Amino acid sequence: MNNAVLDRKRDALLVVDLQNDFCAGGSLAVEGGDQVVAPINRILPLFDNIAFTQDWHPADHVSFASAWPGRSLYDSVEADGIPQVLWPDHCVQGSRGAAFHQSLETDRASVILRKGARARLDSYSAFFENDRSTPTGLDGWLRGIGASELYVAGLATDFCVFFTVLDALRLGYKVRVLEDAIRAVDIPPGGAARALGTMRRERAAFIDSRTLG
């Protein structure tokens, strides 16, 4: 029912944070994270408009529990009035953990967007930083090339994919989430199911990547 016929100008593929630290052996490994690489590699040739995001933090980033003495991993705190979950150190700029999964075929991407690079501000969404108002520029690129329909894959379902999808819908894009090409951290437990429910309610479509091509 949700089968989509691709249009190379109108459609864009957005691959979120498919980096070593979110895959097996990484500091914030997402269960099954590696498994999304193959379906994404398979569909990359179907798109002309491709953007990859990279979580890209300075070593003293506000989202790292290590920067919050007395606090524990996965605590929820406020930083400058913005809610912040405290993560293990991850995706430090230039580190191996911040590099793309080694099997991911990144050559055909037009845009590699790095986010979360400000020490005091996190950025889950590919469109706006966590102050919910500072744009990353991705919307400008997509509009500039005339892309209006997004196919979203990557990590993690309940954080960076979630906020990216919600912002894309709010910005007026038609959004299809590639359900076999996302994985969740599920912190706190139940967060993944809640995120899926919210994305559906906000009118994101969910399709299997195997229906493409």
Consecutive H or E run containing 198: helix 191-201
CA distance 104 to 90: 19
Q: In the block, which residue shows the tokens 């899926």?
A: 196
Whether 91 is a known active-site residue: answer no
- Please, which residue, 43 or 91, has the CB nearer to ligand VGL? 91
In this structure, the strands spanning 11-16 and 49-55 are parallel
Whether 89 is a known active-site residue: answer no
Which of Zn ion, ligand VGL, none lies near 159, with the C-beta cut-off 5 to 8 A by kind? Answer: ligand VGL
105 Cβ neighbours under 8 A, 6+ residues apart? 41, 44
| Stretch of 34-42, 142-150, 155-163, 166-174 lying at the interface with ligand VGL (CB under 6 A) | 155-163
CA distance 135 to 123: 10
Q: How many residues bind ligand VGL (CB under 6 A)?
A: 7
Whether 23 is a known active-site residue: answer no
- Regarding 160 and contact with ligand VGL (CB under 6 A), the answer is yes
- Regarding 127 and contact with ligand VGL (CB under 6 A), the answer is no
CA distance 95 to 144: 32
Catalytic residue among 21, 34, 160, 167: 160
| Stretch of 7-15, 105-113, 145-153, 154-162 lying at the interface with ligand VGL (CB under 6 A) | 154-162
Select the residue interacting with ligand VGL from 13, 155, 192, 204 (CB under 6 A). 155
Footprint of ligand VGL on residues 11-70 (CB under 6 A)?
17, 55
Which of ligand VGL, Zn ion, none lies near 127, with the C-beta cut-off 5 to 8 A by kind? Answer: none
CA distance 208 to 31: 19
Token pair for residue 46? Answer: 């179907």
Q: Characterize 80-100 residue by residue with b for buried, 16 or more Cβ atoms within 10 angstroms of its Cβ, and e for exposed.
A: eeeebbbbbbbbbeebebbeb
CB of 56 to ligand VGL, least distance (A): 10
Site residues, Zn ion (CB under 5 A):
55
Catalytic residue among 11, 89, 91, 115: 115
Give residues in contact with ligand VGL (CB under 6 A): 17, 55, 87, 155-156, 159-160
Residues labelled catalytic: 17, 115, 160
